[in-house]
Amino acid sequence: MAKGKFERTKPHVNIGTIGH
C-alpha cells in the first residue's frame, strides 16, 4: 500500500522509503 503511494509521489521518495 505505502509502496504504491510513495512511488506515485516521486521516484526519489520511493528510494528513501525502502532505505528507511
Q: Given this model, what pLDDT does residue 5 score?
A: 59
**pLDDT (tens digit, 9 = 90+) per residue, 1-20?**
555 555 566 666 666 666 55
Q: Could you tell me the pTM of the whole model?
A: 0.09
Q: Given this model, what pLDDT does residue 11 score?
A: 63
Q: Is 10 left (phi over 0), alpha (psi -120 to 50) or beta?
A: beta
On whether the CB atoms of residues 3 and 17 are closer than 8 A, the answer is yes
Residue whose entry in the numeric block shows the C-alpha cell 526519489: 12
Cell of 18: 525502502
On whether the CB atoms of residues 9 and 2 are closer than 8 A, the answer is no
